[in-house]
Chains A and B, each alone.
Chain A
Amino acid sequence: MESFLEPDQPDVVRWWPLAALVLGFAAVLSVFTGYSEPESVAASRYPGQQNRVLQSVSSLQGKLHQRPTDAPAWAQLGSSYVELARITADASYYGKAQGALDKSLSLRPGDNGPAMLGMGALANARHDFAAARDWGLKALTVQPRSAEVYGVLADAYTQLGDDLAAMNAVQAMLDLKPNVASFTRASYYFETHGRADDARMALERALTAAGAPDEIAFCRYHLGELAFNSGDLDGAERHHTQGLALVADQTLLHGKAKVAAARGETDKALTGYQNLVTRAPLPQYIQEYGELLAAAGRSGDAAAQFEILAQQQKLMQAQGATDDLSTSLALADHGDKAEALRRAESEWGRRQNVLVADALAWALHVNGRDAEALPYMTKAMALGWDNALFAYHRGMIHLSLGQRAEAEQYLAKALSTNPNFSITHAPVARGHLQALRSGR
């Protein structure tokens, strides 16, 4: 039986060239991390609400042991692994997903919509959005009325920056199957187009349709994010608390730590982040933890976090993971600025999404190329997204160009949209705005 069906061992061999000592530890520790029960990440507090994805995986495995030539079951197993990777933030499921989907496609090469769908979902998860789009289009010819196929296409087009195609795909999804999958995507569409009330409505509809703990956690976290991003800390915390009453989810714990930091409850926030980075050392958590340490005056500790972040990025790069977008933003603020620009340009070469436009503009700015940065900033804001960080970036670019009125306008917009948009940058924005207004 294939290794992606049976329990397998951590694939440490390919890590040898990197750092043998760390890996020695890692091999031991991975028994506790990589193989921890995924429920520990998104577990329900109530035994009655079992994770349906896990249930489906174990039932599919049972079926495939009985009948290993069942192509649709292999495809479903592959897609379930992609969902598990998302829920648990455990990328080791990607390999299993790939194996199961390859198996399905080898059993039935053509006319295999479920496997093509799974391949598309996997490509999206791995940030290979062009491949995801291609798989989605292929699946569509076999399954023209599948909401899930449109979901793959919606995610791919959104990330590739094809706004019209993304809207059509999300609408097709909604027309076929109004449920938590389509409502959450509708919400993101609204949010990125500056329609916050509609975004909230769509997420609330998603929440009432959510049937699994991970879905509830997703909706609560993003409802919290919508509140946070508009400066509503109480509203954000309410969603985190209500979500945590049902699901012990790390994203909700992250939300809580972020709110504490914004409120100036630094000790509480630091404890929260410390737990987070121990539990799931995602780059975003490490970066925010570092920024919080720096803001608290613990620059040495902060530097240590940024060093971890840099090491992590090297490891990821060596593994072939491409997340140039978040790496560029992190490096622009905390690392090698030239490298930040290289990363942003490379991402822009692959896709022209608003987030990438913003990252490229910011990378150009930190490298002193503000005149070139401004057009990208305009592209980033073209959809009308009320994004405080975008507004801040634009304000700073105008400031560097000596365009004081525009600088004042956008810095004010950043702070009025969300006064807590960044531990590092919000105080900078306040300082500049004050200076601009006092005419200095």
Chain B
Amino acid sequence: MPQPHTVRVLRRSRATAALLAVGAALAGGLVPGSATASSHREAPLIAADPTVDNTDLYAFVSPDKPDTVTIVANYFGLQEPNGGPNFYPWAENAHYDINIDNDGDAKPDLTYRYTFATDDRRKNATFLYNNGPVTSINDENLLFRQNYKLELIDQRGGSKVLLRNARSAPSNAGAASMPDFRVIRDQAIAKVPGGGLSYAGPAEDAFFADLRVFDLLYGGNLTEVGQDTLRGFNVNTIALQIPTHMLALKGDAKRNPVIGVWADTERQSIKLSPGQAKADGPFVQVSRLGNPLVNEVVAPAGLKDAFNGLTPDQDGKVKALVDRVTDPELPKLIEQIHKIQAPAGARADLVEIFLTGITTKAGGPIKADLNSQLNNADVMAHMFVPSEMLRLNTAIPPNAQPNRLGLLGGDQQGFPNGRRLTDDVVDIAIQAMEGAAQSGALVQALATGDKVDANDVAFEHKFPYVAVPGNASVNSAVSTKVETKSSVLGDLPAGALIGGALGALVLLGGTVYLWRKRPSKARHRSTRPW
């Protein structure tokens, strides 16, 4: 037993210290008044929800198999390798849908639906993703697995299961855990009955850009670009290769070569109402992506949520969205800062491009027939509904030497005729916006764009084309040399511009889209909250 007075002294000093700590905390900002769990449960309010967030969509005629189309849909952006015990799983109770509209009515004629189920073999015994090196997709050491079902749903809602219990490739847990990830990745490629291939799993993020370009554009300073802000990050990828005739209207890709593509995700909701046996609710669309540079963008701030919940057939009915296309804000901002005149008048050209695809059959100003379903021989014009989606003319053969500026560079195989992995949508965007819409001439002052002209990792020549996911943490990633020609002028054949309207659209979309979808990563990330 300690002596009583000693105890008292200790008590007092401990109490005093604690009191001082309280005072310090209060003065320092830790005023805890509203943090007591008993009186008020503060739940998260603004959730990023990355697992079901569409970040990019690509659709192109497969370069090594020109009678097939490859669609690549990415989710869960900005994954840093070494993500921790759960890494980057696919969501359960969710639908990952890839939709095809081949008759132009803005409704899916075909939906390829991926649903994932987790096979967690860790139980409660361990938190490890894997228990020793994983050298194959069926390796016993792999403790966290996800399998998927691939269904094909037709326009009447009838569905047929194409793949059952197909294996998703695991997150890349690092060189020690997965010494050769490519082996595992390739084992995860499944053959789709009827011809075709499917891959679900991680990939290096194919998107390349210096996302700071838009901030800098606003600041009137383009001297600090040239850094691929997405270097080193991985994404979750669904890649699907399907014979073209299976996607085409009436199975005839010769008469009906144009398809519209968009990806969306749905998550199952909950019903609160009492008296039900199960609280299950309906599946609700939570994310949507067609043209990568238009999603969410055209929507003013207050409508962004709504846009993610809209289906394409509703696009034309939302006046606020259409207004944003006919009267885009961005060229005006650029005019203020850079004194480059914004195209005048209501942008009928943008409406045409945005909602119909490039065609002479909708009365729009662009005199070309490229990628509207209206150009399909069997489409009935009166059934056509303008809507936002990525449109691909599958009849245009792959270009052996793709121009990164796509259509603006005279390469009809490229964006916005579908979108290839190598298409430099940011530079296209900047050039197009800077006056190309009105003058057809490029703007020298901004010719270098974001100075990121290609992905830091080479794409592959066969399915799934996207690169194997990296496993070095982003901050330690070796700085690879990125090829930068740094002038779009150098890449442009003379007179190849199809029209600046195109680019203006892209820009309009691009800026806000990128901000919203891809929070830029500070070069020197501050750990301080202010």
Contact yes or no, B84 A89, CB < 8 A: no
CA distance A319 to B84 in the complex (A): 41
CA distance A44 to B80 in the complex (A): 13
A366 adjacent to chain B (CB < 8 Å): no
Report B226-240 CB contacts with A as 1/0, cut-off 8 Å.
000000000000000
Chain B residue nearest to A289 in the complex (CB): B18
CA distance A312 to B20 in the complex (A): 11
Contact yes or no, A145 B529, CB < 8 A: no
Evaluate whether A142 and B302 lie within 8 angstroms (CB atoms) in the complex, with A79-B46, A181-B44 already known.
yes
- Interface size of A in residues (CB-CB distance below 8 Å): 141
Contact yes or no, A125 B306, CB < 8 A: no
Point out the residues of chain A lying under 8 angstroms from B93, CB to CB.
205, 208
A7, A46, A325: which contacts B84 (Cβ < 8 A)? A46
**Which residues of A, 1-49, contact B by the 8 Å Cβ criterion?**
4-8, 10, 12, 15, 19, 22-23, 25-35, 37-39, 44-49
Contact yes or no, B42 A55, CB < 8 A: no
B48, B89, B528: which contacts A212 (Cβ < 8 A)? B48
Contact yes or no, A62 B522, CB < 8 A: yes
B15, B50, B527: which contacts A211 (Cβ < 8 A)? B50
Contact yes or no, B83 A198, CB < 8 A: no
Contact yes or no, B19 A22, CB < 8 A: yes
**Which residues of A, 212-228, contact B by the 8 Å Cβ criterion?**
212, 214-216, 218, 222
* Whole-angstrom distance between the Cβ of B14 and the nearest chain A Cβ: 7
Chain B residue nearest to A180 in the complex (CB): B47
Point out the residues of chain B lying under 8 angstroms from A10, CB to CB.
27-29
Point out the residues of chain A lying under 8 angstroms from B21, CB to CB.
29, 277-278, 281
CA distance A83 to B27 in the complex (A): 21
Contact yes or no, B272 A170, CB < 8 A: yes
Point out the residues of chain A lying under 8 angstroms from B20, CB to CB.
22, 25-26, 29
Question: Which of A91-99, A369-377, A392-400, A424-432 lies at the interface with chain B?
Answer: A91-99
* Whole-angstrom distance between the Cβ of B299 and the nearest chain A Cβ: 11
CA distance A22 to B21 in the complex (A): 9
CA distance A34 to B41 in the complex (A): 23
CA distance A315 to B35 in the complex (A): 15
Contact yes or no, B84 A45, CB < 8 A: yes
Chain A residue nearest to B216 in the complex (CB): A66
Contact yes or no, B272 A186, CB < 8 A: yes
B23, B44, B309: which contacts A22 (Cβ < 8 A)? B23
B279 adjacent to chain A (CB < 8 Å): yes
Chain B residue nearest to A128 in the complex (CB): B34
Point out the residues of chain B lying under 8 angstroms from A263, CB to CB.
none
Contact yes or no, B79 A48, CB < 8 A: yes
Point out the residues of chain B lying under 8 angstroms from A325, CB to CB.
38-40
Evaluate whether A174 and B27 lie within 8 angstroms (CB atoms) in the complex, with A282-B35, A323-B34 already known.
no
Chain B residue nearest to A81 in the complex (CB): B529
B2 adjacent to chain A (CB < 8 Å): no
**Which residues of A, 268-285, contact B by the 8 Å Cβ criterion?**
277-278, 280-284
Chain B residue nearest to A125 in the complex (CB): B34
A267 adjacent to chain B (CB < 8 Å): no
CA distance A340 to B473 in the complex (A): 54
B35, B81, B520: which contacts A89 (Cβ < 8 A)? B35
B23, B34, B284, B526: which contacts A19 (Cβ < 8 A)? B23
Chain A residue nearest to B16 in the complex (CB): A304
Point out the residues of chain A lying under 8 angstroms from B272, CB to CB.
167, 170-171, 174, 186, 189-190
Point out the residues of chain A lying under 8 angstroms from B302, CB to CB.
111, 113-114, 142-143, 146
Evaluate whether A209 and B267 lie within 8 angstroms (CB atoms) in the complex, with A38-B529, A188-B41 already known.
yes
Evaluate whether A83 and B268 lie within 8 angstroms (CB atoms) in the complex, with A34-B30, A177-B286, A305-B18 already known.
no
Report B378-412 CB contacts with A as 1/0, cut-off 8 Å.
00000000000000000000000000000000000
**Which residues of B, 1-21, contact A by the 8 Å Cβ criterion?**
7-8, 11, 14-15, 18-21
Point out the residues of chain A lying under 8 angstroms from B48, CB to CB.
52, 211-212
* Whole-angstrom distance between the Cβ of B137 and the nearest chain A Cβ: 22
A294 adjacent to chain B (CB < 8 Å): no
Contact yes or no, B84 A48, CB < 8 A: yes
B37 adjacent to chain A (CB < 8 Å): yes
CA distance A321 to B519 in the complex (A): 34
Specify which of B127, B272, B515 lies most central, judged by the most chain A CB atoms within 10 Å of its CB: B272
CA distance A38 to B79 in the complex (A): 21
B491 adjacent to chain A (CB < 8 Å): no
A72 adjacent to chain B (CB < 8 Å): yes
Point out the residues of chain B lying under 8 angstroms from A214, CB to CB.
44
Report A138-164 CB contacts with B as 1/0, cut-off 8 Å.
000011011110011001000100000
Point out the residues of chain A lying under 8 angstroms from B84, CB to CB.
44-46, 48-49, 246
CA distance A4 to B29 in the complex (A): 14
CA distance A113 to B525 in the complex (A): 29
A379 adjacent to chain B (CB < 8 Å): no
**Which residues of B, 250-308, contact A by the 8 Å Cβ criterion?**
267-274, 279, 281, 284, 286, 301-303, 305-306
CA distance A25 to B216 in the complex (A): 44
Evaluate whether A281 and B44 lie within 8 angstroms (CB atoms) in the complex, with A242-B127, A308-B18 already known.
no
**Which residues of B, 47-91, contact A by the 8 Å Cβ criterion?**
47-52, 76, 79-86, 89, 91
B31 adjacent to chain A (CB < 8 Å): yes
Report A309-347 CB contacts with B as 1/0, cut-off 8 Å.
001100110010111011001000000000000000000
Point out the residues of chain A lying under 8 angstroms from B14, CB to CB.
301, 304
Point out the residues of chain A lying under 8 angstroms from B158, CB to CB.
none
CA distance A316 to B30 in the complex (A): 11
B445 adjacent to chain A (CB < 8 Å): no
Point out the residues of chain A lying under 8 angstroms from B520, CB to CB.
59, 62
**Which residues of A, 66-123, contact B by the 8 Å Cβ criterion?**
66-67, 72, 79-80, 82-84, 86, 88-93, 96, 111, 113-114, 121
B124 adjacent to chain A (CB < 8 Å): yes
* Whole-angstrom distance between the Cβ of B383 and the nearest chain A Cβ: 28
CA distance A167 to B30 in the complex (A): 32
Contact yes or no, A181 B309, CB < 8 A: no
Contact yes or no, A66 B218, CB < 8 A: yes
B461 adjacent to chain A (CB < 8 Å): no
Contact yes or no, A321 B33, CB < 8 A: yes
* Whole-angstrom distance between the Cβ of B225 and the nearest chain A Cβ: 13
Point out the residues of chain B lying under 8 angstroms from A181, CB to CB.
43-47
B24 adjacent to chain A (CB < 8 Å): yes
Specify which of B124, B270, B302, B309 lies most central, judged by the most chain A CB atoms within 10 Å of its CB: B270
Report A183-205 CB contacts with B as 1/0, cut-off 8 Å.
11110111001010010011001
A30, A148, A182, A212: which contacts B24 (Cβ < 8 A)? A30
Chain B residue nearest to A197 in the complex (CB): B279
Contact yes or no, A143 B39, CB < 8 A: no
Report B205-241 CB contacts with A as 1/0, cut-off 8 Å.
0000000000110110000000000000000000000
Chain B residue nearest to A254 in the complex (CB): B37
Contact yes or no, B27 A49, CB < 8 A: no
B496 adjacent to chain A (CB < 8 Å): no
Binding site for B on A (CB under 8 A): 4-8, 10, 12, 15, 19, 22-23, 25-35, 37-39, 44-50, 52, 54-59, 61-63, 66-67, 72, 79-80, 82-84, 86, 88-93, 96, 111, 113-114, 121, 124-127, 142-143, 145-148, 151-152, 155, 159, 167, 170-171, 174-186, 188-190, 193, 195, 198, 201-202, 205, 208-212, 214-216, 218, 222, 238, 242, 245-246, 251, 277-278, 280-284, 300-301, 304-305, 307-308, 311-312, 315-316, 319, 321-323, 325-326, 329, 355
Binding site for A on B (CB under 8 A): 7-8, 11, 14-15, 18-52, 76, 79-86, 89, 91-93, 124, 127, 215-216, 218-219, 267-274, 279, 281, 284, 286, 301-303, 305-306, 309, 473, 515, 519-522, 525-530
- A86-B42, A282-B36 given. 5 additional CB < 8 A pairs? A23-B23, A193-B274, A201-B279, A205-B268, A218-B44
| 7 smallest beta-carbon distances between A and B, as pairs | A92-B29, A34-B28, A30-B28, A46-B84, A321-B33, A29-B24, A26-B27
User: Can you name 10 A-B pairs with beta carbons within 8 Å?
Assistant: A86-B44, A113-B302, A142-B302, A182-B270, A193-B274, A246-B127, A282-B35, A300-B11, A311-B19, A325-B38
